[in-house]
Structure 1
Amino acid sequence: MAEAANAQDLYSGTKEVAESHQFDETKLAAWMEANVEGYEGPLVVRQFKGGQSNPTYQLVTPKKKYVMRRKPPGTLLPSAHAVDREFRIINALYPLGYPVARPYGLCMDEEVVGTIFYVMDMVEGRILWDGTLPDSTPAERRAIYEAKVKTFADLHNVDWKKAGLEGFGKEGDYIARQIHRWTKQYKASETMHIPEMEQLIEWLPKNIPPGETTTIVHGDYRLDNMVLHPTESKVIAVLDWELSTLGDPIADFSYHLMNWVMPPGDSARGSIMAIDDLKAWGIPTMEEYVAMYCAHTGRKGLPELDYYFAYNAFRLAGILQGIIGRVRAGTANSANAESNAARVVPLAKFAAEYARRAGMPG
């Protein structure tokens, strides 16, 4: 558990703004004065430690705290870091009562801080980085996991057309488009030849399970992308909507399920795979968690999970390869980004293993 505790320390809280992410704070203060209801300076800017993709800042004023998310500076991959899309989805969900931070404004004028950005409320609560929840009781762990899965199901149950999200993504063929997207990113950032990735690039698009539906998808739903109530087992804000779009809810949910099947050594953020007796620990088994999700969404079951696990590991390998490319280009935000390089090959092998279970020739 020591590594996970270190992860909590490493990613939690704020720091001085990194030199590469500094900007003219007087311009931001002037924009806040003109665009954020109730804003009163003076303004102090801090940078959050976590979140390596879009630089995220805490904006502190005498009466209130805000959060700013911005595109990173430098040369970026096409369609990456779409903070304008993040703002749109938060702006659509907030009026529905879905747990997101209150959005205050989007600025498309790059003259203010150097890149486009948006400002939202600072939701005070707990962000936990260790999925084993070592500081909680078994009953608390169970309640947190139940809150997580219900909040996720609630997202997939949102009527996205009524929420005003027409055009936020394409209807249908989500898996095919995602495979194409991450294949393209992987190739654009490729640093070595990985045979399993080549085999997956060939097999995955030809074997997509039928029956795909379309809902809002988060794209990276996990414990450390949400704020829990300070004392209750309740999700009060879901964060980091950069990858959100319209797509296949099972792809989205099965990515979250990777926590139950990923090797413990894949990440330093606490793996529930390292726990021998989930029941005694208070954490639902994968089968129980799937049953909870199905109960909340009216599904009878989730077949084809082996394919989805293969797809999600492949997608994650593509995402991490993109981060490696940004490290190489000098535009990655997090100090730990380089360690992602060691994860790509094991993820490719993991994906290939599940793809073979789903029928890929071995």
Structure 2
Amino acid sequence: MNETIPVRKGEELDPILLEEHLRSQFKEIPTGHLTIRQFGTGASNLTYTLNIGEWEAVLRRPPLGPVAPKAHDMDREYQVLKALNPLFPLAPKPLLYEDNKEITGAPFFLMERRHGTVIDTEFPEDFEITGEDCENLSEIMVDTLVDLHNVSYKGTRLEEISKPDGFMQRQVEGWIERYYRAKTDEINEIGRLTDWMEKHLPSKNEPTVIHYDYKLNNALFTKNLTKMTGLFDWEMATVGDPLADLGAAMSYWMEKDDPELLIYGMGKPTVTIRPEFYTRVQFIDRYAKKSGRDTSNIHYYLTFAYFKLAVICQQIYYRYKMGQTKDARFAKFGAFAETLIKHSLTIAQKG
């Protein structure tokens, strides 16, 4: 599976300026010219592969145009990786942070390049998938999340840059504010949903390191799909409620019996709709057994997770509608945000 694409129009980097800066920072770079490609997945930060001879790295920078306050903080993601990589090796090692906007047009950081297979909407053409493979991938995803939540973060930089006290209240209030800042169209259900979330805040859970964007296509696997080789997109990582992380993961984990608009809202669905993959109930049950945590209130976290995902889509759609990005993928994000909000309210009412 080809995980990179030629750089999209309008998202190009200056190869001459960037190569000159790289050579000033990394003396081990060999002779040759800089080659830049882009990761095609992802709809938020822009992520590129950089190659000069055998030297390689990954560059991340914020999306084009204005961004929400405190969002897309490259320095913070760099600091998270710097603290987390020695404790949780699946997090890539960061190499460099730069606040110089003249090089790429925005602050950016570099991290090591990891290699492996990305699983998203399909499996590699040369891989004959079995039900056992699907079950094994499900277990890897659960067990890795449990391992992350067991990381001992106290006394590290992670503790310094996080605020676990009052985490869920700040999350709910903050994401509601983000929604209204990016609002474009009227959605009737939004008032009832936000009222419910504010009135039913769960009691505090013991905080852990959380990824907060944990999903299949943010991971790399060995060619035979038996082991995870890397976990990426740590922009939203922090120390907070582990069940919020589990809920966010489940909002991306589609099932074949989900509403059609939910499955196809962003195009082709993820491979988890295959019946051999864990259901969300099975995923949550295994997590509860492995972690020892009480997941009886998971419907609240799943409600909030779908709302949070709706806001992310709405923010992206807002940038598209305002002409801040021309990526055609984003034209349908407004309709998908509405679908997610309606689905979120349904989960709250069934809870």
- State TM-score, norm by structure 1: 0.87
- Structure 1's consecutive aligned runs of 4 or more residues displaced over 4 angstroms after TM superposition are 131-135, 271-275
- Determine whether 1:285 maps to 2:279: yes
| Aligned twin of 1:310 | 303
* 1:97 Cα offset (Å): 4.2
Of stretches 136-145 and 254-263 in structure 1, the one that deviates more from structure 2 is 254-263
* 1:240 Cα offset (Å): 0.9
Trace 1:94-109 onto structure 2 (pairs within 5 A): 94-109=85-100
Trace 1:177-256 onto structure 2 (pairs within 5 A): 177-256=170-249
- Match for 2:229: what amino acid? I
| Aligned twin of 2:14 | 24
User: Aligned pairs, how many?
Assistant: 342
| Aligned twin of 1:145 | 138
Distance 1:298 1:49, change over 3 A: same
Distance 1:205 1:212, change over 3 A: farther
| Aligned twin of 1:51 | 42
- Determine whether 1:159 maps to 2:152: yes
Contact 1:264–1:271 (8 Å) recurs in 2: no
- Determine whether 1:15 maps to 2:11: no
Contact 1:129–1:223 (8 Å) recurs in 2: yes
Distance 1:113 1:271, change over 3 A: closer
Q: Distance in 2 between matches of 1:342 and 1:31?
A: 42
* Structure having greater relative contact order (Cα 8 Å, sep ≥ 6): 1
* 1:327 Cα offset (Å): 0.7
Q: Distance in 1 between matches of 2:326 and 2:74?
A: 15
* 1:139 Cα offset (Å): 1.2
| Aligned twin of 1:4 | none
- Match for 1:337: what amino acid? F
Per-residue CA distance 1:117-164 (angstroms, 9 max, x = gap): 111122111011138999521111111111111111111111222442
Contact 2:212–2:249 (8 Å) recurs in 1: no
- Determine whether 1:78 maps to 2:66: no
* 1:98 Cα offset (Å): 2.5
- Determine whether 1:124 maps to 2:115: yes
| Aligned twin of 1:294 | 288
Distance 1:54 1:37, change over 3 A: farther
| Aligned twin of 1:3 | none
Structure 1 residues without counterparts, runs of 5 or longer: 1-7
* Secondary structure at 1:57 match in 2: strand
Q: Distance in 2 between matches of 1:228 and 1:298?
A: 26
Trace 1:33-72 onto structure 2 (pairs within 5 A): 33-36=23-26, 38-40=28-30, 41-72=32-63
Structure 2 residues without counterparts, runs of 5 or longer: none
Contact 1:56–1:67 (8 Å) recurs in 2: yes
Q: Distance in 2 between matches of 1:22 and 1:260?
A: 33
- Match for 2:182: what amino acid? S
- Match for 1:223: what amino acid? L
C-alpha root-mean-square deviation of aligned residues, in Å? 2.3
Distance 1:204 1:232, change over 3 A: closer
- Match for 1:201: what amino acid? T
Contact 1:129–1:269 (8 Å) recurs in 2: no
Which of 168, 175, 186 matches 2:168? 175
* 1:253 Cα offset (Å): 0.5
- State TM-score, norm by structure 2: 0.89
